[in-house]
């Protein structure tokens, strides 16, 4: 079978989505093209050499085999239920199925208004498009499940936010865009019509081991529980703050989505929160594990009618799955921390050692990423051969702590060489820092892409040192420090 488009979600019918018309832009121009992802997808053409492809990915003409739709969903935003969200500025071209049978949603974000736009213009400024492209591709290179970016194309049309900004369209690729909010929409609308059909669909698409004998809703809940625990464990150890963990931004396939107000912390701040609209810190770094548990509970509640006709039984069964989450998260998080610290496992007694490390990082405002990399270079005896000393100075408190840590490492049962090597592939050198994102956005607005290309390339190998890393790996100067992020829709 050759790769091509399919439309299994569109076939579910019109309560699930609406047919979307193309809404052309004036002057499409390619900003970024992800040739690696294109190759992995067996994408047949590229907008560098094929004007029709450029035009299609800007939403100006139909790609062969596409059947554009916009999908319906709801969601809790900052804890408040919003019954009508939906793809307000995203057009799903269809599902791209590779020759191996892997299926991906191909979505144009910013391609014009849809029936779910609620008065919005359905467009996106170039800033958020560049931000999403760079961050999602960096996340992927860091090994975190995420939606991907295939192309960023400037539209030639201005969009008005607080000021006029150049517009752009992003081609987003995801295992699917089905969200907790999608399930909420069907559970809460028209007496649950379509809910069972949706759940069967999601289970078949994302949990193919499902045998048909178990309860599909419980399989979904349990699978999503495992995905969320895994995803948040990744985010926490990287110091990634998503910023807007509403239920419509929680994908059932467990990929990171919505790179609006997110940010990686530079210096360690145990209460880190960047989003300008998150005044209470609901989605602050320390709250992410708990918030995804809450999102899971929302999903569970929607699924109750499908779990059992007896509400008490349904409740008990759903609760049992939701209650698995804290343990699952803890287990995965501890395993990631152990790898980062060069330990074979985290023992109960390691709690104070880790806390002391965090306390030093917080008190000295040390760079979170580089502090872990400093441990890595120390363990591997490579500090003097790396650019790290030019980027990071370990204070006395940290070097003293490192002696306790080295003593603790002597208790490791595992092979030290292997643990040291694992540290190198768990502690990145380069992360998509806010001040770099900011610079990329400013350049993109001026249509200057050379530096952006260089950074996108550098972000592909985040765990190894490279030339020019004094630029790519360094923390921001005081003036460059970004303290607040904006949704920038």
Angle value at C-alpha 216, between 16 and 329, nearest 5 degrees: 100
Are 71 and 92 a contacting pair, CB within 8 Å?
Answer: yes
Q: Which residue, among 445, 451, 435, 489, has the nearest Cα to 126 in the 3D structure? A: 445
Residue 258 in contact with Mg ion, rule: CB under 5 A: yes
Q: Which is nearer to ligand AMP, 123 or 328 (CB)?
A: 123
Binding mask 266-305 for ligand AMP (x = CB under 6 A): ----------------------------------------
Q: Is 446 exposed, middle or buried (0-12, 13-18, 19+ CB in 10 A)?
A: exposed
Which listed residue (68, 88, 223, 475) binds ligand AMP by CB under 6 A?
88
Q: Compute the least distance from the CB of residue 174 to Mg ion, in Å.
A: 12
Part of the chain binding Mg ion (CB under 5 A), chosen from 81-89, 217-225, 257-265, 436-444: 257-265
Are 284 and 273 a contacting pair, CB within 8 Å?
Answer: yes
Query: Which residue shows structure tokens 């467990």?
Result: 254
Q: How far apart are CA 275 and CA 485, in angstroms?
A: 5
Q: Which is nearer to ligand AMP, 86 or 94 (CB)?
A: 86
Among Mg ion, ligand AMP, none, residue 82 binds (CB under 5-8 Å by kind): none
Part of the chain binding ligand AMP (CB under 6 A), chosen from 43-51, 116-124, 299-307, 309-317: 116-124
Residue 487 in contact with ligand AMP, rule: CB under 6 A: yes
Q: What stretches of 231-343 adopt beta strand conformation (E)?
A: 240-241, 263-264
Residue 121 in contact with ligand AMP, rule: CB under 6 A: yes
Question: Which of the following is catalytic: 87, 105, 222, 248?
Answer: 248
Q: Which is nearer to Mg ion, 171 or 376 (CB)?
A: 171
Residue 315 in contact with ligand AMP, rule: CB under 6 A: no
Q: Which residue, among 141, 86, 98, 91, has the nearest Cα to 462 in the 3D structure? A: 141
Q: Give the chain's count of helices (H) and strands (E).
A: 17, 13
Q: Which residue, among 274, 251, 399, 427, has the nearest Cα to 339 in the 3D structure? A: 427
Q: Compute the least distance from the CB of residue 92 to ligand AMP, in Å.
A: 12
| 305-344 core/surface letters (b: 16 or more CB in 10 A; e: else) | bbbbeeeeebeebbeebbebbeebbeebbbebbbbbbbbb
Part of the chain binding ligand AMP (CB under 6 A), chosen from 84-92, 345-353, 392-400, 415-423: 84-92
CA distances (Å), 146 to each of 70, 140, 253, 332, in order? 21, 6, 9, 18
Binding mask 249-268 for ligand AMP (x = CB under 6 A): x--------x-x--------
Which listed residue (122, 125, 223, 243) binds ligand AMP by CB under 6 A?
122
Q: Which is nearer to ligand AMP, 334 or 489 (CB)?
A: 489
CA distances (Å), 480 to each of 148, 254, 261, 447, in order? 27, 33, 17, 21
Part of the chain binding Mg ion (CB under 5 A), chosen from 248-256, 331-339, 411-419, 466-474: 248-256
State which of positions 225-254 bind ligand AMP (CB under 6 A). 248-249
DSSP states of 32-52: EE-HHHHHHHT----TTT-HH
Q: Compute the least distance from the CB of residue 311 to ligand AMP, in Å.
A: 31
Binding mask 341-360 for ligand AMP (x = CB under 6 A): --------------------
Q: Compute the least distance from the CB of residue 285 to ligand AMP, in Å.
A: 19
Collect all residues with Cβ–Cβ distance below 8 Å to 87 and sequence separation of at least 6. Answer: 70, 71, 73, 107, 114, 116, 177
Are 429 and 376 a contacting pair, CB within 8 Å?
Answer: no
Q: Compute the least distance from the CB of residue 399 to ligand AMP, in Å.
A: 44
Q: Compute the least distance from the CB of residue 440 to Mg ion, in Å.
A: 21
Part of the chain binding ligand AMP (CB under 6 A), chosen from 121-129, 325-333, 457-465, 469-477: 121-129
Q: Which is nearer to ligand AMP, 222 or 258 (CB)?
A: 258
Which listed residue (85, 229, 430, 441) binds ligand AMP by CB under 6 A?
85
**200 is annotated as an active-site residue:** no
Part of the chain binding ligand AMP (CB under 6 A), chosen from 23-31, 82-90, 353-361, 410-418: 82-90
Residue 249 in contact with Mg ion, rule: CB under 5 A: yes
Q: How far apart are CA 295 and CA 300, in angstroms?
A: 9
Q: Compute the least distance from the CB of residue 243 to Mg ion, in Å.
A: 11
Q: Which is nearer to ligand AMP, 178 or 218 (CB)?
A: 178
Among Mg ion, ligand AMP, none, residue 277 binds (CB under 5-8 Å by kind): none
The token pair that represents 19 in the structure block: 């047919």
Which listed residue (76, 123, 206, 242) binds ligand AMP by CB under 6 A?
123
Q: Which residue, among 144, 205, 477, has the nearest Cα to 336 in the 3D structure? A: 144
- DSSP state letter for 10: G
Active-site residue list? 248
Interface residues toward ligand AMP, by CB under 6 A? 85-89, 117, 120-123, 248-249, 258, 260, 487, 489
């Amino acid at each position: 079978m050759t790769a091509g488009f399919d439309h299994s979600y569109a076939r579910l019918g019109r309560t699930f989505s609406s047919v979307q018309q193309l809404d052309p832009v004036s002057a499409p121009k390619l900003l970024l093209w992800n040739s690696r992802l294109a190759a992995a997808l067996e994408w047949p053409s590229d907008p560098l050499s094929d004007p029709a492809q450029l035009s299609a990915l800007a939403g100006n003409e139909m790609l062969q085999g596409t059947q554009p739709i916009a999908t319906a969903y709801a969601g809790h935003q900052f804890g408040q239920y919003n019954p009508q969200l939906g793809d307000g500025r995203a057009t799903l071209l269809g599902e791209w199925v590779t020759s191996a049978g892997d299926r991906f949603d191909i979505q144009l974000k910013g391609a014009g208004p849809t029936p779910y736009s609620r008065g919005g213009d359905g467009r996106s400024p170039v800033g958020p498009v560049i931000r999403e492209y760079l961050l999602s591709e960096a996340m992927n290179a860091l090994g975190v499940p995420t939606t991907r970016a295939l192309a960023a194309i400037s539209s030639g049309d201005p969009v008005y936010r607080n000021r006029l900004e150049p517009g752009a369209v992003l081609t987003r690729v995801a295992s699917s865009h089905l969200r907790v909010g999608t399930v909420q929409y069907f559970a809460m609308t028209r007496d649950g019509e379509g809910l069972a059909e949706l759940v069967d669909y999601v289970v078949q698409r994302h949990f193919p081991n499902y045998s048909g004998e178990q309860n599909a809703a419980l399989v979904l809940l349990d699978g999503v529980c495992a995905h969320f625990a895994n995803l948040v464990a990744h985010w926490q150890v990287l110091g990634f703050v998503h910023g807007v963990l509403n239920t419509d931004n929680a994908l059932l396939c467990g990929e990171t989505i919505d790179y609006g107000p997110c940010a990686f912390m530079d210096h360690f701040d145990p209460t880190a929160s960047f989003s300008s609209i998150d005044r209470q810190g609901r989605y602050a770094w320390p709250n992410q594990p708990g918030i995804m548990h809450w999102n899971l509970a929302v999903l569970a509640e929607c699924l109750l009618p499908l779990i059992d006709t007896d509400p008490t039984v349904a409740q008990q069964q759903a609760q049992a799955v939701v209650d698995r989450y804290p343990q699952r998260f803890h287990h995965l998080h501890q395993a990631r921390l152990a790898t980062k610290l060069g330990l074979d496992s985290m023992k109960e007694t390691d709690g104070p050692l880790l806390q002391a490390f965090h306390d030093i990082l917080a008190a000295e405002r040390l760079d979170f990423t580089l502090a872990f990399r400093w441990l890595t270079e120390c363990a591997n005896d490579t500090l003097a051969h790396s650019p790290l000393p030019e980027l990071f100075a370990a204070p006395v408190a940290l070097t003293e702590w490192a002696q306790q840590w080295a003593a603790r490492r002597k208790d490791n049962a595992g092979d030290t060489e292997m643990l040291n090597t694992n540290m190198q592939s768990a502690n990145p050198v380069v992360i998509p820092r806010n001040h770099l994102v900011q610079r990329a956005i400013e350049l993109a607005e001026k249509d200057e892409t050379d530096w952006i290309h260089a950074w996108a390339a550098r972000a592909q190998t985040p765990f190894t040192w490279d030339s020019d890393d004094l630029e790519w790996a360094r923390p921001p100067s005081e003036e460059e420090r970004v303290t607040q992020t904006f949704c920038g829709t």
